[in-house]
Amino acid sequence: MPTCTPQTPASWVPMAALFLAQVLMSFNVSALPVSIGGIVDDFGVPPTQVSTAIVMYGLAVAALVMLGAKVGRRVGWTRAFRLVIALFGVSGVIMMSAQSVTWIIGAQALAGASAAIIVPSLVALIAENYQGAQQTTTVGSLGSARAISGVTAFFVGGALGTLVGWRPVFGIVVAIAAVVLVLSLRLRSDRGDAAVRIEGRRGAARRLSRRPAHPRVQQPQRLGRRARHAGRAVQRGRGLPRAGPRRRGHRARAGLLRLDPGADGGGP
């Protein structure tokens, strides 16, 4: 009688990489509001202009997340994950060496574009590397990563911003990105799907133009034909067709409403 051998649990190193990737994104978002005061003092710009960087990050994530999912499927989730983690680290370097607010806005746009691929890759890599109870634990760790990184950015970022300056805060972002890159070497590699097509605006417009019209769209045309036939019948003096009730087994004959010129008081 065959015996069922228990499945060997997978290493927790990939979970640490995915956990720190979530910390990386959340820490960057939480560090920006803490650093607004120092950025305003350094560049002499209003706080609303600095807040544009926060908005730019969110816009880039929302606009490119669907495209990021297609890119990850096409080139492979592990390869795409490592590439965008490196780009996220580059955005931290730009933040540390920023010479104006424009640099900061551009750095956050790059970070948001990278996060648009990191977000779907976390889910795909969890499914690729873990199963069963380990998969559930890894998913739960991503939720706790956001809370931990938010608290850490508030206290550590606030302390560094007050004592040293706001630039070293984003040095932590670069350090976390480097650690995630090293740990990502333990992720299970996968092959991309070359059949996945990445279409631009022309491709989307072409697919929309090929869709058949909804049946309700053609209804006004049929109503227009009936109205034209009724108008011709009135002009010929035949009257308007009166639709009688339909009965089972045979069709009710339609009577004609005779037009009486003196019915409305217009005749003598």
75: which 2 tokens? 């080139």
Q: What is the pLDDT of residue 210?
A: 56
Q: What is the pLDDT of residue 228?
A: 61
CB 257 within 8 A of CB 242: yes
How far CA 219 is from CA of 211, 212, 215, 222, in Å, comes to: 17, 14, 7, 5
Q: What is the pLDDT of residue 233?
A: 60
Q: What is the pLDDT of residue 253?
A: 47
Q: What is the pLDDT of residue 133?
A: 87
Residues 168-203: tens digit of each pLDDT: 999 999 999 999 999 999 888 777 666 777 765 555
Q: What is the pLDDT of residue 97?
A: 93
Does the pTM of the predicted model rise above 0.85? Answer: no
Q: What is the pLDDT of residue 144?
A: 87
Q: What is the pLDDT of residue 1?
A: 45
Q: What is the C-alpha to C-alpha distance for residues 264 and 27, in angstroms, rounded to an integer?
A: 81
Parts of the chain with a pLDDT under 50: 1-5, 204-205, 207-208, 213-215, 217-220, 223, 249-261, 263, 265-268
Q: What is the pLDDT of residue 227?
A: 57
The CATH number of the structural domain formed by 13-186 is 1.20.1250.20
Q: What is the pLDDT of residue 130?
A: 87
Torsion over CA: 13, 14, 15, 16 (sign)? positive
Average pLDDT for the chain: 79
Q: Where are the domains of the chain?
A: 13-186
